[in-house]
Amino acid sequence: MSPPRPRPSGRLVRPYVVTEGRAHPSRSTLDLVTLLIAADGPSPSGLGPEKRRLTELCRPGALSVAEVAGYLSLPVSVTKVLVADLMDSGHIVALAPIPAALPSDARILKEVLDGLRARL
């Protein structure tokens, strides 16, 4: 008879159970740096434990998708599915990251610099 196997430490529920078998979020707009804020609307009482915890994490202020994934100890892909569900139900509001500015035209920058030098 072999000795009893130790129970694995950490998470006992598989990620696909948390996302109800889905591998992709209903929205493709979520990025690692998308900021999440808990909405004042619906009560989180009917949510599962991971979704409830996610809304509680975002209640005091904004957190990024990456931060939420870290706090929940879930893969980012799983976190995105949960966030998309919570956005669809009105529990979470997402603020998209500010897009990077386009590089300025070197000619315009040179003209500005020449104009500043002429004034000084």
Class of domain 35-118: mainly alpha
- In sign, the C-alpha dihedral spanning 88, 92, 93, 96 is negative
The whole-number average pLDDT for the span 82-89 is: 89
Mean pLDDT of the chain: 80
Query: Where does residue 73 fall: left (phi above 0), alpha (psi -120 to 50 degrees), or beta otherwise?
Result: left
Domain residue limits, the chain: 35-118
pLDDT, tens only, 32-52: 889 999 888 777 778 888 888
Quick one: CA dihedral 70, 19, 33, 106, positive or negative?
positive
pLDDT band at 105 (very low <50, low <70, confident <90, very high): confident
Q: In 10 A of CB 70, how many CB atoms?
A: 13
Q: What does pTM read for this prediction?
A: 0.66
Question: In the structure, what pLDDT confidence band is assigned to residue 24 with cuts at 50, 70 and 90?
Answer: low
